[in-house]
Amino acid sequence: MSNQPITFNTGAFRVLNVLGIACLSYFFLEGVPVFNTQIASELIPIQGVIDKNPSGQLSSTLFLIRQHYSFFPVELSSVPFLLFFIFSFIGIIYLIISLKKWSNISWLFTFSGILLWLAIILVKNAEQPIETFYEVLFSQWIWLGIISLFLLTIFFSNTLCLFLLQLGHSPTKKESQKKWLILFGFYAVNLIFSFGHLIYNFQTKTYIPSFVFWVSSILLGLYQQHKKQVEQTLFFGLAFLSMSTALLMLYTSNDPGIRAIETWALISQIIMLVLFPLFIIRNFNGLIKLNLPIYKVVDKPQILPTYILFIGVLILGSAFVFALNGGAYHQMTAAKYNADGELAQILKDPFLAEINYKQGLIHSKLNAKSNTSLARIAYQENKIEELAYYLSTSQVKFPNEKTAIALSTIYQNENHLFESLFALQSAHQKMPESIEIITQLAHTFEKLNQSDSSVYYYQKAFEYDPESTLTRANFLYIIAKYTKNTILPDTDQATHDPAILANLWAICIQRNQRMGSKSIESTFKPRADVRDLAMIYNSIPYFKDKQNSLPIHEMAKDTKILSLFPEIKLAEAMQDYFHEDPLSSLEKIALYIDVQPMDQTQGLQSLLDFWHQASLIPVTSPKISNKLEAKSAVKKYPFQLNTLKNAIPFLNKKEAYDASLAALRWNKEVPDFYPLYAFRALEIGEIEYAKEAMNSLKKINPTLFQLNLKPFESQLAAAIQRQKF
């Protein structure tokens, strides 16, 4: 490693390299969109057999998860503007230093000029809020950045040609010429393809984007200037302003600005590719014949000076731009207004923001940034027609899946399902492999009750991306709801995706089959998300007692969960039943029914009746020899008469009373529970309740009443006698 100390210019060069890499990263990864999408999940109820016994089977509600996409406006960020101000300020300092050295004026005059400029801005906007000062300052700085970008692209338009000239130089003249032909040929073909794609929308991917060449030319040019150890302040100043402007455009997804940079860079490089060989031949023809390394002396021409090249690029490039109807100029102007508009929005000035965005539309009618930004303002002001118009316009030339989904969602929210479908079909033609668009098409067809088309698109989305949890969960959803005999896809047994598991377990319950998936851990903490809650709900009838008891009671205390999924109360009751606590289950189901509308209680009442009757089916009484076994037996078999009789002697009086009362309260049509309760009531002094129970028994079964009358009268007398003390 070099032991030379890091100078100020070296540090600046490294910062500019980082900025260049950041620009490339945002170019390929894309910046922050105006609208973004997120997964939206819906609960779809279906029926499935969740329990069986000798008397029949119980069909109850299960929940499937259907997923699609919704949209939301992305919150504006001041970060790109802060970065722009910081790096532009550094660039301006470099330019001031360069200007001072060139003009040889004093610092006093320099600072006086700067202060005068600031004073003029402040005086002209004295009655305006401070935000106006920021907007005016930014507007001037962004123009300075655009001009710097324009000039630096010209100054460094020859750097790639110089690099190829150096790269192709070989020990022999013939080999050098061969390499130059290959390298410059490849470069030329790539520029032609890139030009065709950018200007004429050629559908090809076999090219390197011109933006990559632009950043490469800037960084190569800076490296060459830094390596020469000559005056660098002018180029560093232009580079900081150019890179910060480009980064701002990329970060904010200002598409007309990005296209303008690409277009101007492409034009400059094409012209330079034509002029550079002529320049080399005119100045260094003799050296070429001798196969000397002319790349070392290119900056020292003997006949035509280097600046002639740059003047040629400037004149021909400007003519080229206006021959194309001034496309790059109008795009960059639109980008400038877009940046002004976004800053105005950040500074809470929507009126000025709207004016700037509409100014951007004057220069570039179909640019996506202006249209989507105006759509965001319309969204915030709830102007639905304007919102739909701007979103639709933004899709004409630059289709984007997020914007297409936003447009279709707006139509759906307004109950214009066919318009929503047409918008998605148009987007699908332009982006046929977009999983988001295909999924949204499937969802929209289902909304229109076109189940065949819906199933087709859900399957298509899964085939395109079988590894996606969303497409897999939706594929399981259509199997459960529409294509019940379809073979299940291979599923990772270790998957933890709640939507996949909820749908998979629902299918298994429908088909009465088992899968190797693991049950939910008792430590699982659900989010206020229907996917988690449906997974919990379906896991209970699927695993039954094979799954550890979940703390559903604690989950239901979360008001967000309870309001989102009130069935969590029913899930708790189901869990109690499958974990052999039928009385608690029935109590909770009854309470749940009480708070439901009358038209929604039929299925719940069937559930209650089935499990109630199942608890009355005679079973062999378990062996009971102590209190623990007695309590366990009463919990498991609360309505089994023999079990209660065998358990009561081991229980204390209060526990025995509660057990007999529960049995009678739930089974008033069963005569045997009346004397059982009456005797327990006498034991704890509830004489009136005991008498009431015996009177009821007398009405429904006189024979059993007579059999228990004498023992009852005997215990009644004893109870009365106890109360005297």
Q: How confident is the model at residue 60 (pLDDT cuts 50, 70, 90)?
A: very high
Tens-place pLDDT, residues 169-180: 788 878 888 888
DSSP letter for each residue of 47-113? EEEEEEETTEEEEEEEEEEEEEEEEEEPPP-SHHHHHHHHHHHHHHHHHHHHHHHHHT--HHHHHHH
Q: Using one digit for the tens of pLDDT, what is the confidence trace for 228-264?
A: 766 678 899 999 999 999 999 999 999 999 999 999 9
Structure token pair of residue 440? 């949204």
pLDDT of residue 254: 94
Is the model's pLDDT at 1 over the cut of 50? no
pLDDT(271) > 90: yes
The number of angstroms, rounded, from the C-alpha of 70 to the middle of its chain's C-alpha atoms is 9
- The per-residue b/e assignment along 100-125, b for 16 or more CB within 10 angstroms, e otherwise, is eeeeeeeeeeeeeeeeeeeeeeeeeb
Going from N- to C-terminal start, the domains of the chain cover 79-324, 629-723
Which pLDDT belongs to residue 7? 57
Q: Considering only CA atoms, which of 17, 37, 27, 16 is closest in space to residue 251?
A: 27
DSSP-derived secondary structure for 111-147: HHHHHHHHHHHHHHTTTS-HHHHHHHHHHHHHHHHHH
pLDDT (mean) for 692-700: 93
Residue 467 has pLDDT above 50, yes or no: yes
Q: Label residue 193 by pLDDT band (50, 70, 90).
A: confident
What pLDDT does 587 receive?
94
Show Cβ contacts of residue 196 under 8 Å, excluding neighbours closer than 6 positions: 202, 204
626: left (phi over 0), alpha (psi -120 to 50) or beta: beta
Both structure tokens of 673: 């529970």
More confident site: 707 or 206: 707
Identify which has the larger pLDDT, 603 or 710.
710
User: 345-387 pLDDT, tens per residue?
Assistant: 999 999 999 999 999 999 999 899 999 999 999 999 999 999 9
Close Cβ partners of 677 (under 8 Å, ≥ 6 residues apart): 657, 660, 661, 663, 664, 689, 690, 693
Q: Indicate the residue type of 209.
A: P
Segment 517-525 mean pLDDT: 90
Six token digits for residue 444: 């929209």
- Indicate the pTM of the whole model: 0.85
Residue 725 tokens, joined: 């003390």
For domain 629-723, the question of CATH label 1.25.40 is answered with yes
Percent of the chain with pLDDT over 90: 66
- C-alpha span between 309 and 157 (Å, rounded): 9
Residue 291 scores a pLDDT above 80: no
